[in-house]
Amino acid sequence: MQPIQRVAIVGAGNMGSGIAQKSAQEEFDVQMVDREQQWVDRRQSIIANFLTEAVERRIFSEQQVDAIKERITGVVGVENTAEDTDLVIEAVFEDFDIKTAVFRTLDEACGENTILASNTSSLSVNALAEATGRPDRFVGLHFFYHPAKNRLVEVIPAASTSQQSIDRVVQYCKMLGKVVIVCGDRPGFVVNRFFVPWLNEACLLLEEGHGNAAQIDAIACKAFRIGLGPFGLMNLTGPPIALHSTDYLAEQLDTTRYNGAANLRDLVSDNRMWEIEADASYSEEQYQVISRRLYGVVFGVAAQIVDEGVCSMEDVDRGAKVGLRWARGPFELMNKVGVQESFEMAKEYQSLCQNVDKNSGWTIPDFFFNQAENDTPWDFSYVDTQINDGIATITINRPEAMNALNETVVKQLGIAVNAVNANESVHTIVLDGAGKAFVAGADVKFFVDKIRSDSIDDIVEFTSNGHKVLNSIENSTKVTIALTTGLALGGGLELALCCDYRIGTRRTQFRFPETSIGIYPGLGGSQRPARISGIPLARWAVLGGNFMNAQAAYDVGLLTHLVDIADVDRATHNCVSNGKPSDKYSGKPANENSKVVKFATDFYRDENLPILLSGGCPDGYDAEDKTISRQLKNLKYTAPIALSMASELIDITANTTLEQGLDSELAKLTDIFSTRDALEGLSALIEGRRATYQNS
């Protein structure tokens, strides 16, 4: 599959310029297209200001900003969009006729292989596709504001969209670092389908006198664990957008209850904002009335979305958590509230819909009723498996939590691996992570909760189960490949290292942070790095906790393939062709001439280790040297007990088998998690502070 590289954004408004900025940041060649030079110039100026602020906040260097701006070309006139553009994203006003006029011009200007996309939050993608001359190369996109910052994007194929077009656009979105939800073409798609009625219901609650805007916001913030309530959100994005969206849903879904509330309509007519500065204190009675109404609409609509096949309940929750930054998605909230009680709230909302319109088609799906009858919580799947031509791709799909490993994920991963290991039609297993991370370690809160409840045995059991899963990958007769094309930390890196091959791109980042948070890597991290790259380099990676960019990870040998993003599929098939490697654990780096490798091999050699572990600088090294001082600083902020245990475990790789080493790693878990330093380090990570270790 040829990846997208040349992108054009039509419409240099807030959304269009944001998509252009994000695309340029991720090294796409971008055309920013509008009708007049003044609009193109204005948006390039706004992007420049955003990027200047990013330099001040040390997100980008000045050189990076210069390169980003150079990748954006201003184009005046849709007809002047380059013929060889791979993907054109239309981001003009939300009007069907305007959009289709743009697509007619693009159809003339662009080559036959160009994919056309509409950034829309409401319009029918199927109808838009039919209005173009290339319905098989058309897709709907719904970026969330601000598109350079918000990580969610909904991809909406038309019925006519080819699978190749879908795959290429999804790949482009993932290369932007987005969490992608592929969903059906229904009004509101996923997030707006439940979010917009939620906003309108808040307006109706205000209109009915159940509280002022500040009180309703405060109650919504508590009930949904969010930072900004419905009225604050409408003030931020603009009340006219809320009114347009809810009226659209009311019309398309024939739901009178969704008609924009009179107070919202008056507010927009008067060009006012909501008054949210009043007293926000509320009574328990107010909380119950308001929260039940807001819960009811969200729970009922979320069930409708799944029942209609728009997307899975996991994706509904993902949309809420990533796109809206809710702490829990609708189905997770139902589990917290209780599924039976949640169903009762949805029934109360259904009654409100029927009171407005006796013929209302707003109904609660049967599967929600059945779940409530059984009064059992919803089960979620975080591991997806796809098999194609003998290659089983297992994706950890928990991007809202950076795919962190918890008990559920480890269990589901184990089931998935065992299933494909037993499948004779599968010859290769590819591990992948949804979103911008491969796997960002284990769920730290789980460790903290277990230590505080004196349940360290549960940590040992969890880690032991993790070892079983990794061993089933390690010992698989299939070729095993980790697509570590993003962030892999701690347990995620350990998961990758049990595979035969690890494919990375320039976005790859590796790190073992464990000794700095009071523990040691317990899923093979003390064993496999040394066996792959040699003991000194394992010390550099594990004891020093050094952050590895893609090149360093490749030179050290923890990455087996470093390729351009466009070549990931080719590299995967090369691994398949080569079969299982004969020298997976060679005990030496991939590039002995690398500066990183030379330094790490020298600095972390056996003779220097005692003084490094005691906090000193070995003889012959300048402690003021930038490279040396960084290592000494890294070691200074580690937990002494964890550092010592990790060092001992790395050293035993010289005279043990991998199986023996892994057993030793497991055997020390109770000791390390029983230390005060483990609780301090893990707690400090959650609390966003620097740990203070007492060596106890």
Q: Is 157 helix (H, G, I), strand (E, B) or coil?
A: strand
Per the structure block, which two tokens stand in for 279? 């007293």
> Taking all residues of the chain, what is their mean pLDDT, rounded to a whole number?
95
Q: Say what the alpha-carbon torsion angle 604, 608, 614, 617 is, to the nearest 10 degrees.
A: -90
**Residue 488, beta-bridge partner list:** 439, 510
Q: Sorting pLDDT into bands at 50, 70 and 90, what band is 565?
A: confident
Res. 1: pLDDT tops 80: no
CA distance 503 to 484: 6
**What pLDDT, in 10s, does the model give residues 622-664?**
999 999 999 999 999 999 999 999 999 999 999 999 999 999 9
Phi–psi pair at 132, nearest 5 degrees: -100, 170
**What pLDDT, in 10s, does the model give residues 344-357?**
999 999 999 998 88
**Domains, the chain, ordered by start:** 6-182 (3.40.50.720), 191-374 (1.10.1040.50), 383-687 (3.90.226.10)
Contacts of residue 66, defined as CB under 8 A and 6 or more positions apart, other chains included, come to none
CA distance 447 to 451: 6
Q: Exposure string (b/e) for 125-142, b if CB count within 10 Å is 16 or more?
A: bbebbebbebbebbbbbb
Res. 433: pLDDT tops 90: yes
CA distance 274 to 636: 52
pTM of structure: 0.90
Res. 104: pLDDT tops 80: yes
β-pairing verdict for 509-511 and 548-549 = antiparallel
With contact defined as beta carbons under 8 Å apart, do 346 and 364 qualify? Answer: yes
Q: CA-CA distances (angstroms) from residue 92 to 9, 50, 120, 561?
A: 9, 21, 9, 41
Tell me what pLDDT residue 513 has: 97
Among 280, 297, 288, 283, which Cα is nearest to 218's? 280
Q: DSSP states of 289-350 as a string?
A: HHHHHHHHHHHHHHHHHHHTTSS-HHHHHHIIIIIS--SS-HHHHHHHH-HHHHHHHHHHHH
Tell me what pLDDT residue 299 has: 98
Least confident of 142-151, 524-533, 594-603: 142-151
Q: Which residue has the higher pLDDT, 182 or 355?
A: 182
Residue whose pair of structure tokens reads 């277990």 in the numeric block? 450
Tell me what pLDDT residue 360 has: 80
Q: DSSP states of 2-69 as a string?
A: PPP-EEEEE--SHHHHHHHHHHHHTT-EEEEEESSHHHHHHHHHHHHHHHHHHHHTTSS-HHHHHHHH
Mean pLDDT of 445-463: 97
Question: Taking the mean position of all CA atoms in its chain, how far away is CA 51?
Answer: 23
Give the sign of the dihedral formed by CA 605, CA 606, CA 612, CA 617: negative
